[in-house]
Structure formats: structure tokens, C-alpha cells
């Protein structure tokens, strides 16, 4: 029978999968699911508030970085989930406390008893045939007195609440760092697209100049073909940077919950000077102490240790509890021909001593010890990852500081060369074609400088994030 049922299920599954591939879900199923979702999302004020905060997508009041960061703090779903995590941890803490409070329950039982004594050597039971209802009402109270497992459960719940608060801080810093990075990427792409467009316009002038020179027999066809090829590559790069810009803006909208209709500013946020970063030891110390990922991993180790002790107490520690009950039993009849109403009061102590495999599931402390070591490994891996990231960010900052210095020098040299060439043209010693070439070189130098400055700002933001710094405060 089981084999036949399995075969039937397999056939139904194959048919159903084929149907889903062809037509998708049935219209009635989709409509029913939508109706149920609408009912859930409007079931109370708190659900409607979530919809208003995290479901709406209004326009951004301003495309400034501080405005977008503030909007992300208010309406980013990851931060909202972390906030709900704190509420859940608080509820679990209260439940852990309830676990050590009196346990009171009431039960009402209604039975119909059909009884017949089939065989007995007791003369009193010879008339043992009866059919009657029995009503039983019970109130029962149990109070744990000594239960180390429950006590550790309260301590674990307190630590879990602290962990939820750390996870909230981590979510805020994660989202802020992502908003900052995408904002810089968007401005970087917009700047580069602008520089490339300016260079494209200069190339168009150069192409026109080469064509005129060819017309009078001075230019080379090969120069024109090379210039057109380079122009096509520039046009492709402009399209790529505009796509990169739109992707960054789209990500910013998703992170902040705001539609960014206007263009972002064309200048990078002025939050730091472009210089080398030398205090590596201080950054490493801050990262170990302030990075929320390390703090969360450390709390996981502490909680794993407490859970290990809790499992030991569950497996081996005696449990002492007090109990009391009141039972009222109303029998309409009996085997002896008469009914009864009785009240039974019971008060006592219960000492439970686990001897061997008391739960029937072995010993959870065996696996908890492994979990504790795994948590320790996760903590060490997180700390190593953060320290490696801090060292890498420091190295990039120093390298980019050198690149920015060299790029600034290149811009000054290109500006000086352009001024001299323009003076030569004004004196009749040069030609406009040479001026265009100098302008292209200046454009390339400025584009490289702006690119390095944006990369420096991204590395600086990463270092702020890894060392536990608040980008919100810096931006504000």
C-alpha cells in the first residue's frame, strides 16, 4: 500500500510540475493568496504602520548624501528587521522569566463511563455493571524551586537581547556604509561620464581638423581612422559609465526607500582630506573593540558557552519543584448503585534526578560543546577578516594618496602646457590642432584625478565602517 501511494505521489508531482511550467499557479489560488495577504497587512495598526513606512516609495526631498542616509535609517527594511529583532529578543526574555514563575492551569473533563466487571473474586464487585457520566474539574499549580537550566535560560535571553541590539547597530552601520559607497560610485561615474563627453567633443574638433588638413593635402587618412576608432571607444565608455551611474542611483533608491528623480551633485562629499593614513595600530585597536561584526561574534561565543552549561544542567542537574492541585469529581452513578461528588487536594514536592538518558534523546551537552568551538572559530574568522580589511584599506589609502599627488602634479603640468600652447597660437607660432591635443591631455589628467579622489573616499568610508565609526555623524 505504501509503495502504491508513493508511486501515485510521484505521478501527481510530475503532472503538477509540468502544469506549473506551462501555466503557472491557478488564477483562483493567486487571487486567494492576494486576498489573504491584504487581510494580514491591514489586520492592525502596527501592520499598517509597517506598510506606510517600508512599503511606500516617495520622492527624495533632496539628493544630498545626508538626506538619503536619514531616509535609509527611517525606512530601510534591513534596519527595520533588526529593530523587530530587538522586540523579539525582549519577548523571548520575558518568556524565559515566565519559565521560572508559577505555572497555573485548569482542565475540564467530561467522560461517559461504561463499566462491567467481567470476572472477580471480590463479592463486593459482583454487581459491577454501570453506565454513567463523570465530570472532572482540575486546577493545578507548579512552581520551580531549583532549576539551573531555567536560570541559565534567563541569562541566555538577556544576552540575546544585547546581541539583538548589537545586530541593530550593525545593520545601521551596514546600510550607512552601503549608501555612502553607492553615493560615491554614482558621483564618480557621473564625473567620469562628463569628462569623457568633454573629451569626445574635443575629439570631434580634432576629427574636423584632420579632415580639413586632408582636404588641403596635409593630413593622413590613417590618422583620421585612428581618431575615429578612439572616438568610438570613448562613446562606449560613456554609455558604460551612464549605466553604472543609473545602477548606483537605483541601489540608492532601494536602500533609502526614496525615488531619486533629479541628478545627484557633481562634487564628492567633503568629509576628509586626501592624505596618507599612518595610524594603523590605532585603527586595528578600534576595529577589535568597536566593529559591530566582531562584537556580535563575541556575544555568540558567550551565548554558546552559556548554552553549553545550560545543556549540562538539562542532562545531569536535579530539578526541585513544588506542586498543588485541586480536583473535583462528580460521578452520576457507580458500580454500587450510587453517585458521588469528591474534592481532592494535593500538595507536594517533586525532585527529579536524571540518571541515564533521562530525555530519551541522549545528551545535548555533547553537541553544545562543539557549537561553542564553532562559535569561537567564527569569532576568530570575523576578527581576522576585519583586521585584514583594515590593513587593506590602509594600504589603498596610502597608495591612492600617492596617486592623487601624482595626478595633481600631472594636472598642473597639463594646465601649464595648455597655457603655453595657447600663448603660442596667440603669437602665431602654433596651431589650434596642438591646443586641442593639450586640452585632451588636460582632460585625461583631470579625469584620472577625480577618479582617484573618489576611490580614496570609498576606501576611507570602508575604513570608517571597519573601525566602527559612524558615517552618519561624519556626513551630518
- Domain regions of the chain by residue span: 74-100+147-184+261-318+361-475, 104-145+319-352
**Confidence at residue 476, expressed as pLDDT on a 0 to 100 scale:** 55
Check residue 275 and give left, alpha or beta (phi > 0: left; psi -120 to 50: alpha).
Answer: beta
**Confidence at residue 223, expressed as pLDDT on a 0 to 100 scale:** 58
Rounded Cα gap, residues 269 and 136, in angstroms: 76
Rounded Cα gap, residues 206 and 438, in angstroms: 11
Highest mean pLDDT among 20-24, 201-205, 390-394: 390-394
Q: Is the pLDDT of residue 12 over 70?
A: no
At residue 330, the 3 state secondary structure works out as strand
Q: What is the pLDDT of the chain when averaged over all its residues?
A: 85
Residue 351 Cα to chain centre, angstroms: 45
Q: SS in 3 state form for 204-220?
A: HHHHHHHHHHHHCCCCC
Lowest pLDDT segment from 148-162, 260-274, 310-324: 260-274
- Residue among 383, 372, 376 at smallest CA distance from 292: 383
Mean pLDDT of 240-262: 90
Q: Is the pLDDT of residue 447 over 90?
A: yes
Sorted by sequence, the CB contacts under 8 Å of residue 292 that are 6+ apart come out as 166, 167, 169, 170, 173, 468
- Dump pLDDT digits (tens) for 326-336: 999 998 887 66
DSSP letter (8 states) at residue 158: H
Q: SS in 3 state form for 24-45?
A: CCCHHHHHHHHHHHHHHHCCCH
Q: Is the pLDDT of residue 429 over 60?
A: no
DSSP letter (8 states) at residue 59: B
Rounded Cα gap, residues 102 and 150, in angstroms: 13
Lowest pLDDT segment from 38-42, 350-354, 402-406: 38-42
Q: Is the pLDDT of residue 231 over 90?
A: no
Mean pLDDT of 138-167: 92
Q: Is the pLDDT of residue 222 over 60?
A: no
**Confidence at residue 141, expressed as pLDDT on a 0 to 100 scale:** 94
Mean pLDDT of 269-287: 83
Rounded Cα gap, residues 319 and 310, in angstroms: 13
Rounded Cα gap, residues 356 and 335, in angstroms: 43
Rounded Cα gap, residues 476 and 473, in angstroms: 5
**Angle at CA of residue 300, ends 303 and 77, nearest 5°:** 120
DSSP letter (8 states) at residue 428: T
Q: How confident is the model at residue 6 (pLDDT cuts 50, 70, 90)?
A: low
Q: How confident is the model at residue 97 (pLDDT cuts 50, 70, 90)?
A: very high
Cell, residue 92: 523571548
| Tally of residues, the chain | 476
What's the longest Cα–Cα distance across the chain? 141
**Confidence at residue 220, expressed as pLDDT on a 0 to 100 scale:** 58
Check residue 300 and give left, alpha or beta (phi > 0: left; psi -120 to 50: alpha).
Answer: alpha
Sorted by sequence, the CB contacts under 8 Å of residue 461 that are 6+ apart come out as 177, 180, 181, 184, 471
Lowest pLDDT segment from 87-91, 274-278, 289-293, 456-460: 274-278
Q: Is the pLDDT of residue 434 over 90?
A: no
Cell, residue 329: 469529581
Cell, residue 451: 577618479
Q: Is the pLDDT of residue 187 over 80?
A: yes
Neighbours of 73 (CB within 10 A): 16
Q: Is the pLDDT of residue 240 over 70?
A: yes
> Which position has the higher pLDDT, 300 or 35?
300
Cell, residue 476: 551630518
**Confidence at residue 3, expressed as pLDDT on a 0 to 100 scale:** 73
**Confidence at residue 399, expressed as pLDDT on a 0 to 100 scale:** 93
Specify the residue for cell string 498543588: 324
**Confidence at residue 428, expressed as pLDDT on a 0 to 100 scale:** 65
Q: Is the pLDDT of residue 194 over 80?
A: yes
Q: How confident is the model at residue 219 (pLDDT cuts 50, 70, 90)?
A: low
Rounded Cα gap, residues 245 and 268, in angstroms: 14
- Residue among 385, 390, 389, 397 at smallest CA distance from 284: 390
Lowest pLDDT segment from 242-246, 343-347, 382-386, 468-472: 468-472
Mean pLDDT of 76-98: 92
**Bridge partners of residue 348, in order along the sequence:** 323
Q: Which CATH number fits domain 74-100+147-184+261-318+361-475: 3.20.20.70, 1.20.1600.10, 1.10.3720.10, 2.60.120.10?
A: 1.20.1600.10
Q: How confident is the model at residue 208 (pLDDT cuts 50, 70, 90)?
A: low
Starting at the edge strand found earlier in the chain, the sheet holding 129-146 runs: 103-116, 129-146, 319-331, 340-352
Report the chain's C-alpha Rg in angstroms. 38
**Confidence at residue 324, expressed as pLDDT on a 0 to 100 scale:** 95
**Bridge partners of residue 342, in order along the sequence:** 329
Query: pLDDT above 90 covers what percent of the chain?
Result: 49
Orientation of helix 280-290 relative to helix 364-426, angle to 10°: 140
- Dump pLDDT digits (tens) for 333-370: 876 667 888 999 999 999 999 988 887 788 888 888 99
Could you tell me how many helices (H) and strands (E) the chain has, helices first? 12, 4
Amino acid at each position: 500500500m505504501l509503495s502504491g501511494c508513493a508511486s501515485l505521489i510521484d505521478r501527481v508531482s510530475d503532472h503538477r510540475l509540468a502544469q506549473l511550467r506551462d501555466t503557472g499557479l491557478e488564477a483562483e489560488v493567486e487571487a486567494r493568496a492576494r486576498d489573504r495577504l491584504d487581510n494580514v497587512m491591514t489586520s492592525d495598526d502596527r501592520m499598517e504602520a509597517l506598510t506606510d513606512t517600508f512599503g511606500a516609495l516617495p520622492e527624495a526631498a533632496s539628493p544630498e548624501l545626508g538626506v538619503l542616509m536619514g531616509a535609509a535609517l527611517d525606512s530601510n527594511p534591513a534596519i527595520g528587521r533588526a529593530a523587530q529583532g530587538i522586540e523579539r529578543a525582549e519577548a523571548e526574555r520575558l518568556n524565559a522569566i515566565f519559565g521560572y514563575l508559577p505555572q497555573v492551569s485548569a482542565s475540564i473533563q467530561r467522560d461517559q463511563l461504561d463499566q462491567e466487571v467481567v470476572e472477580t473474586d471480590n463479592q463486593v464487585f459482583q454487581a459491577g455493571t454501570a453506565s454513567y457520566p463523570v465530570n472532572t474539574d482540575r486546577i493545578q499549580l507548579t512552581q520551580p524551586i531549583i532549576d539551573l537550566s531555567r536560570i541559565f535560560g534567563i541569562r541566555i535571553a538577556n544576552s540575546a537581547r544585547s546581541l539583538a541590539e548589537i545586530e541593530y547597530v550593525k545593520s545601521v552601520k551596514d546600510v550607512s556604509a552601503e549608501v555612502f559607497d553607492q553615493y560615491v560610485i554614482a558621483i564618480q561615474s557621473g564625473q567620469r561620464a562628463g569628462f569623457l563627453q568633454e573629451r569626445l567633443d574635443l575629439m570631434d574638433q580634432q576629427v574636423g581638423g584632420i579632415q580639413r588638413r586632408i582636404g588641403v593635402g596635409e593630413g593622413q587618412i590613417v590618422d583620421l581612422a585612428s581618431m575615429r576608432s578612439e572616438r568610438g571607444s570613448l562613446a562606449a565608455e560613456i554609455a558604460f559609465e551612464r549605466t553604472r551611474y543609473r545602477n548606483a542611483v537605483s541601489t540608492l533608491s532601494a536602500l533609502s526607500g526614496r525615488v531619486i528623480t533629479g541628478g545627484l551633485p557633481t562634487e564628492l562629499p567633503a568629509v576628509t582630506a586626501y592624505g596618507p593614513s599612518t595610524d594603523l595600530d590605532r585603527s586595528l585597536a578600534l576595529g577589535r573593540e568597536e566593529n559591530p561584526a566582531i562584537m556580535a561574534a563575541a556575544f555568540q561565543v558567550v551565548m554558546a558557552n552559556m548554552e553549553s552549561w545550560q545543556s549540562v544542567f538539562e542532562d545531569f542537574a536535579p530539578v526541585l519543584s513544588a506542586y498543588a492541585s485541586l480536583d473535583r469529581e462528580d460521578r452520576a452513578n457507580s458500580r454500587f448503585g450510587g453517585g458521588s461528588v469528591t474534592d481532592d487536594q494535593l500538595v507536594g514536592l517533586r525532585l527529579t534526578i536524571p540518571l541515564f538518558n533521562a530525555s530519551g534523546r541522549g545528551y545535548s551537552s555533547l553537541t553544545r560543546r562543539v557549537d561553542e568551538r564553532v562559535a569561537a572559530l567564527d569569532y576568530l574568522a570575523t576578527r581576522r577578516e576585519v583586521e585584514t580589511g583594515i590593513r587593506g584599506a590602509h594600504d589603498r589609502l596610502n597608495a591612492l594618496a600617492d596617486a592623487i599627488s601624482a595626478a595633481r602634479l600631472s594636472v598642473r603640468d597639463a594646465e601649464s602646457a595648455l597655457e603655453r600652447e595657447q600663448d603660442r597660437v596667440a603669437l602665431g607660432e602654433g596651431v589650434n590642432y596642438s591646443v586641442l591635443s593639450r586640452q585632451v591631455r588636460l582632460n585625461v589628467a583631470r579625469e584620472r584625478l577625480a577618479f582617484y579622489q573618489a576611490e580614496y573616499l570609498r576606501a576611507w568610508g570602508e575604513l570608517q565602517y571597519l573601525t566602527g565609526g559612524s558615517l552618519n555623524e561624519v556626513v551630518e
